[in-house]
Homo-oligomer: A and B are copies of this chain.
C-alpha cells in the first residue's frame, strides 16, 4: 500500500507560490500519495489561521505558508513550535535575508503580486495577442510580434506561443505547409525574432497519429506518412534557412524547456548588440 501525506497550504493571497513548490516536490515522490486538497487562500485573521492549524494537527498534516503579514506568520510559527506541527514558511526566510542585506522591510500587502498594474495588463494583452495571431490567422500581426514561431503541423507552436505570452511576449505563429504559399509579409520580419521548430520525423509521425486517434479519425493519411513528413520538414528547414530563423529541435522537449532556450537566445541577442 502506498504511503500518504497530507499538505495544508495557507496564504493571505491566492497561494500560487506554495502550489508551484508543491508540484516540484511531489514530482520527486512518485510512490507517495499527496493529499493536497486543503488549500486556504485569503487568510487574514489570526482566529481563522489558528483554527486551520488545529485541523492540521488532527490531520497530521504538513503546513506550507506564504503569509506576508508578519504578525500572522509569527503566530503560525509559534503555534507550530509549541504543538510540534511540521510548518514550512516560504516567505520569511527570504524576508530575513533581504533585511540583513539591505535593511529593508517588506510592505506586507497580501496579493500585491496580482495587482492590476501595467505589467499585469501587458501580460493580458500578450495572451490576447497570441490567441488572435495563432495559426497564421492574420500575418500582418508578424510585424508587431516579439517572436514569430514557424513550424510544420504538430510542432507545438500554439502551446509554446501561449506559454511565452504568459511571460509577456507578443507571439504569433505560422504553420508551414509545402502546398500553401508563405505570406509575403514574412520577408519583412526581423530575422532575430523568427524561431523555426523542427522535430525528429518518426516522433512527429507518432504525435500526429495520436492526434488523429484523439480526433476519432482513421489512420494512414499523408499526414502521418513518414516519407511525407520528411518532405515537410525539409521544406520547413529551407524556409528557416532562407529567413535565417533560429532553429530549435523540439523532440523530447517540454514547452517549458523550448521556451527557456528561446529566452536564452533573446538574451544573447541583446547582450551581443546583434
Interface residues of A (CB under 8 A from B): 3-5, 14, 16-17, 20-21, 23-25, 27-32, 37, 41, 60, 62, 64, 66, 68, 86, 88, 90-91, 93-95, 97-98, 100-102, 104, 106-109, 111-116, 120, 124-125, 127-128, 131, 134-135, 156, 158-159, 162, 165-166, 214, 252, 254-257, 260, 267
| Chain B residues with CB under 8 A of A109 | 28
- Taking A17-B20, A88-B93 as known contacts, 18 extra A-B pairs with beta carbons closer than 8 A to each other, sorted by chain A number, are A3-B104, A4-B102, A17-B21, A20-B21, A23-B113, A24-B66, A25-B91, A25-B94, A25-B98, A28-B106, A29-B98, A30-B107, A32-B102, A86-B97, A114-B254, A120-B254, A125-B214, A127-B158
Of all chain B residues, the one with the shortest Cβ separation from A121 is: B210
Of all chain B residues, the one with the shortest Cβ separation from A4 is: B102
| Chain B residues with CB under 8 A of A62 | 97-98, 101
Question: How many whole Å from A159's CB to the nearest CB in chain B?
Answer: 5
Question: How many whole Å from A250's CB to the nearest CB in chain B?
Answer: 11
Question: How many whole Å from A136's CB to the nearest CB in chain B?
Answer: 13
| Chain B residues with CB under 8 A of A267 | 37
The answer to whether B90 touches A21, judged by C-beta atoms less than 8 angstroms apart, is yes
Q: List 14 A-B contacts (CB under 8 A).
A: A5-B101, A20-B21, A23-B113, A24-B91, A27-B115, A29-B106, A29-B107, A32-B98, A62-B98, A86-B101, A88-B94, A114-B257, A128-B158, A131-B131
Q: How far is the CA of A252 from the CA of B116 in the complex (A)?
A: 7
Question: How many whole Å from A39's CB to the nearest CB in chain B?
Answer: 9
Q: How far is the CA of A162 from the CA of B16 in the complex (A)?
A: 16
Task: Decide yes or no: A260 and B28 within 8 Å by CB, A88-B97, A124-B159 being known contacts.
Answer: no
| Chain B residues with CB under 8 A of A162 | 127, 131, 162, 165-166
Task: Decide yes or no: A86 and B106 within 8 Å by CB, A127-B159, A156-B124, A158-B127 being known contacts.
Answer: no
Of all chain B residues, the one with the shortest Cβ separation from A64 is: B94
Question: How many whole Å from A79's CB to the nearest CB in chain B?
Answer: 16
The answer to whether B254 touches A116, judged by C-beta atoms less than 8 angstroms apart, is yes
Which residue of B5, B24, B101, B114 is within 8 Å of A98 (Cβ)?
Answer: B5
| Chain B residues with CB under 8 A of A102 | 3-5, 32
| Chain B residues with CB under 8 A of A214 | 125
Which residue of B3, B17, B32, B93 is within 8 Å of A24 (Cβ)?
Answer: B17
Which residue of B5, B95, B113, B124 is within 8 Å of A27 (Cβ)?
Answer: B113
